Amino acid sequence: MRAVAEVHLQRNAPASFFLVAKMLELCGPELLAILDNPLFDIQSHTYTHPNLKELGEDRAALQYELGDAKKLIEDTFGRAVNGLTAPGGYTDGFRGQPAVLEVMWEAGYRYVRSVGKGPNDALPALLEQPFWYAQDGFPDLLETPSHAWHDNILTGQPATVHWPPLLPWPYPTAMPRDAQGVYEAYAPGIDYCTRQDLLYYMPIFHPWSIYRIDKQAAQIGLLLDHASQKMEMTSCNHIYQHILQHPDLV
């Protein structure tokens, strides 16, 4: 986490960190020291990282994972939390999951990243753009889909990968083993989304997985340097606020 934060600080590049609240019980002061900076957007990744859909109608469990997680993060950092990243991600996000959306809304979340996989829960995720959960009864709850690979899957954690490729650029010819390889897998998305004038490009990274490939998070530095030449870099919360001000974008 520290290396990722430093790479962003060196470039004055905003970042959003979605925290598993349980980690704050284990190393809250350390995470606060690393992340308590106005450049960083602090949001929620649930309390213990469960599959939220599997909790179904269990409101107590959902309240713990969503509401209690949000409160602990807010109490630790002294700032409001309004965004959630769903563990794992899904092809359709929380479409058709009103019970989860209801607890989420009541807890105070206003946007969620839950679309994070391609067809049939395979990876990589496509380039779906934001939408409201109006059809599920929550017209003011925004989905901000994630894109492309999860870096932990890209670099070796088992998962289903879709074939043939569905992204508008090819898969790597070999599993990336270093920072340059990870950079080369993600960078085409920056160029493509710029050319197509998409609202944003939002790939997925995990600090532990970044560290496993490069202890100085060099792959993030390479991507930030590339992106800075092509597009504005911003936080997830800023995207949400921007859409609120410009609803025609969705």
Q: Percentage of residues in the chain with pLDDT exceeding 70?
A: 100
The domain tally of the chain equals 1
| pLDDT confidence tier of residue 235, bands split at 50, 70 and 90 | very high
pLDDT tens by residue, 124-175 = 999 999 999 999 999 999 999 999 999 999 999 999 999 999 999 999 999 9
What CA–CA distance (Å, rounded) separates 196 from 171?
20
pLDDT score, position 89: 97
pLDDT of residue 82: 98
Radius of gyration of the chain (CA): 17
Domain span at residue 140? 2-249
Q: What is the band of 216 on the pLDDT scale with cuts at 50, 70, 90?
A: very high
Check which CATH number belongs to the domain holding 59 and give it.
Answer: 3.20.20.370
Which residues, including other chains, have CB under 8 Å from residue 8's CB and lie 6 or more apart?
A: 14, 15, 39, 40, 220, 224
At 21-63, the pLDDT tens digits run: 999 999 999 999 999 999 999 999 999 999 999 998 899 999 9
Q: Which residue has the tokens 């920072």?
A: 179
Q: How far apart are the first and last CA of the chain?
A: 32
- Model confidence, pTM: 0.96
The per-residue pLDDT for range 95-122, each reduced to its tens digit, is 999 999 999 999 999 999 999 999 999 9
How far is the C-alpha of 218 from the C-alpha of 197, rounded, in Å? Answer: 27
